[in-house]
């Protein structure tokens, strides 16, 4: 702590949790009410001079890095909050706010359809010792270009709660994704893919059916220093390279999907439109079905035995034994399958149930397609790495794990 002679106080320590929350919240462009709440918490209930100085030095030291209308709105509420409690407002805040007021009158403050950059920070607990999970600074930050025009068809360029949840899950349980070929359906801004690359997935393939969203996703990957590959025929083994695939659900061919051969399929907030659900279930069925994957040497259907059947001596047939521990699905092969244990493809789908009928329709379609859908919401909770966000709540998200209940031959 450094003494401040003018006000007789001390400068705030940026490493304190409350300070980290405040910085992370403004970088993520959380609502102004969230920022005010964190600022008050830092000051023990009021926005002191020291808190204001911290905001100036550590949160908005480079105001040009922020979307001007957002910072203008925050400054207005910050000044009002301080004045209403008879506090002294820093002159710099008045000056910045006056600048934004002037800019708004001449039309240069910002357009409604502007793309803005949010910086999402994952804050790891101090007790975290796993090098694979935690960066040295205990803070992992991804800048992401997003859209403010979500209500006019630009939903794919927005950060949705379920993508935040899946990202927390990946960073909390890297063993489920490391050294795996991971494929995401409807990848949006690319946050999940960035987290998969961070935990060293053997290959990350992202997809979306909207070309504008796909272009924005590629921009975000490059913004975070990842190489982008668009040719699925290339066999680049560089784990810093992420493949991006244009994939409209309704027109994706079976051969195109079978060429992906994923270990893990992911999807965030993809269960929302009843019209799209039959196409989504078709995609999942093809991606998760291990039929005719002998060439990969990992999943082979044992002919002549019913799925999930158990031999007299207690040994399971191929695909007979399912281990649901640790969030994994494993298949144990008998002698006819070389006696080796291999993992079956698995999907993790995170969603907010906004319409119960739509969600139940998805479950019904999945059952008809011989998909096993397990609710892991209570049993596979990620660490809370976004505790500074008041716009996101882990408890709102449902987590589903999906596998093929038995091998089928698709027509």
172 and 259 housed in the same domain:
yes
- CA dihedral of residues 366, 248, 295, 332 (deg, nearest 10): -30
Tell whether 277 and 362 lie within a shared domain: yes
> Which of these three, 105, 121, 141, is where a domain ends?
105
- Whether the per-residue pLDDT at 320 is higher than 50: the answer is no
CA 102, CA 275: separation in Å to the nearest integer?
47
Last residue of a domain, one of 72, 88, 105: 105
Are residues 176 and 267 located together in one domain of the fold?
yes
| 246, 394: one domain | yes
Q: How far apart are alpha carbons 221 and 189 in whole angstroms? A: 9
| 112: pLDDT strictly greater than 80 | no
Domain count, the chain: 2
Secondary structure of 228-264 as H, E, C letters = EECCCCCCCCCCCEEEEEECCHHHCCHHHHHCCCCCE
Mean pLDDT of the chain: 82
Residue of 168, 223, 180 whose CA lies nearest to 204: 180
**In the predicted structure, residue 299 carries a pLDDT above the cut 50:** no
**Higher-confidence residue: 297 or 379?**
379
43-89 tens-digit pLDDT: 999 999 999 999 999 999 888 778 888 999 999 999 999 999 999 99
What is the average per-residue pLDDT within 222-226? 95
In a domain, 411, yes or no: no
94 and 180 together in one domain: no
Residue 63 and residue 161 in one domain:
no
Same structural domain for residues 263 and 385? yes
Break the chain down into helix, strand, coil percent, rounded to 5. 40, 20, 45
Residue 331 phi/psi, 5° resolution? -115, 140
Residue with tokens 């905001």: 55
- What's the pLDDT at 10? 78
Instruction: Give a yes or no: residue 367 inside a domain.
Output: yes
Distances (CA, A) of 337 to 294, 333, 344: 10, 5, 14
Report the C-alpha gap between 192 and 198 in whole angstroms: 10
Structural domain that includes position 24? 3-105
What pLDDT shows up at residue 264? 97
Q: What percent of the chain is modeled with pLDDT above 70?
A: 74
Supply the pLDDT for residue 143: 96
- Asked if 100 and 159 sit in the same domain, the reply is no
Q: What is the pLDDT of residue 295?
A: 36
**N residues, the chain:** 411
Location of structure tokens 């190489």: 227
Q: Is residue 309 part of a domain?
A: no
**Crossing angle for the helix pair 91-105 and 68-84, to the nearest 10 degrees:** 130
Residue 129: per-residue pLDDT: 61
**Claim to verify: residue 226 and residue 158 sit in the same structural domain:** yes
pLDDT band at 307 (very low <50, low <70, confident <90, very high): very low
Mean pLDDT score, 92-113: 74
CATH of the domain at 225: 3.40.50.150
Give pLDDT, residue 15: 87
Residue 337 lies in a domain: no
Distance CA 315, CA 310 (A): 6
**Residue 264 near residue 179, CB atoms below 8 Å:** no
**pLDDT, greater one: 303 or 166:** 166
**125-152 tens-digit pLDDT:** 877 766 566 666 689 999 999 987 655 4
Residue where one domain finishes, among candidates 105, 135, 164: 105
What is the tens place of the pLDDT at every residue in 363-407?
Answer: 999 999 999 999 999 999 999 999 999 999 999 999 999 998 764
CB atoms within 10 A of CB 103: 15
1 has a pLDDT exceeding 50: no
Residue 313 lies in a domain: no
pLDDT tops 90 at residue 321? no
Q: Could you count the other beta carbons within 10 Å of the beta carbon of residue 251?
A: 9
In 3-state terms, what secondary structure has residue 296?
Answer: helix
Same domain for 231 and 351, yes or no, is yes
pLDDT for position 241: 81
In a domain, 160, yes or no: yes
Same domain, 31 and 166: no
- Under 8 Å CB-to-CB from 54, ≥6 apart: which residues? 11, 12, 14, 19, 22, 42
- Report the alpha-carbon distance of residue 325 to residue 330 in Å, rounded: 9
What's the pLDDT at 247?
A: 95
Q: Measuring CA to CA, which residue among 161, 199, 158 is closest to residue 180?
A: 199
What percentage of the chain exceeds 90 in pLDDT? 62
- What confidence category does residue 283 fall into, taking pLDDT thresholds of 50, 70 and 90? very high
Same domain for 180 and 89: no
Domain-located, residue 167? yes
Q: Looking at the domain assignment, is residue 86 inside a domain?
A: yes
């Amino acid at each position: 702590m450094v003494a401040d002679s003018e006000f007789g106080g001390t400068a705030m320590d940026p490493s304190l949790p409350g300070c980290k929350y405040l910085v992370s919240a403004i970088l993520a462009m959380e609502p102004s009410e969230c920022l005010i709440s964190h600022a008050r918490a830092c000051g023990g209930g009021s926005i002191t001079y020291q808190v204001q100085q911290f905001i100036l030095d550590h949160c908005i030291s480079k105001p040009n890095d922020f979307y001007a209308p957002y910072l203008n709105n925050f400054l207005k509420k910050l000044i009002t909050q301080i004045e209403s409690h008879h506090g002294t407002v820093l002159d710099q805040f008045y000056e910045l706010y006056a600048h934004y007021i002037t800019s708004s009158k001449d039309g240069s403050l910002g357009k409604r359809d502007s793309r803005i950059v949010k910086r999402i920070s994952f804050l790891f607990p101090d007790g975290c010792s796993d090098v694979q999970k935690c960066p040295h600074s205990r803070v992992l930050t991804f800048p992401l270009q997003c859209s403010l025009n979500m209500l006019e068809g630009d939903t794919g360029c927005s950060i949705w709660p379920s993508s935040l949840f899946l990202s927390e899950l990946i960073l909390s349980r890297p063993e489920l994704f490391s050294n795996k070929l991971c494929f995401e359906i409807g990848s949006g801004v690319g946050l999940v893919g960035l987290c998969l690359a961070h935990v060293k997935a053997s290959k990350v393939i992202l997809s979306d059916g909207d070309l504008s969203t796909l272009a924005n996703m590629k921009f975000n990957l490059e913004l975070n220093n990842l190489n982008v590959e668009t040719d699925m025929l290339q066999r680049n083994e560089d784990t810093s390279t992420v493949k991006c695939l244009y994939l409209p659900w309704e027109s994706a061919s079976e051969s195109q999907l079978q060429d992906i051969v994923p270990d893990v399929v992911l999807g965030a907030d993809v269960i929302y439109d009843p019209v799209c659900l039959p196409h989504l279930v078709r995609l999942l069925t093809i991606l998760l079905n291990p039929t005719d994957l002998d060439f990969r040497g990992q999943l082979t259907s044992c002919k002549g035995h019913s799925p999930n059947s158990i031999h007299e001596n207690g040994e399971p047939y191929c695909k007979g034994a399912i281990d649901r521990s640790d969030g994994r699905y494993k298949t144990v092969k008998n002698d006819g399958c070389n006696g080796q244990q291999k993992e079956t493809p698995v999907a993790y789908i995170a969603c907010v149930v906004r319409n119960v009928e739509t969600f139940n329709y998805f479950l019904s379609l999945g059952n008809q397609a011989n998909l096993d859908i397990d609710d892991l919401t209570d049993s596979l909770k990620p660490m809370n790495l976004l505790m500074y966000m008041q716009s996101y709540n882990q408890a709102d998200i449902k987590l589903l794990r999906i596998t093929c209940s038995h091998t089928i031959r698709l027509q």
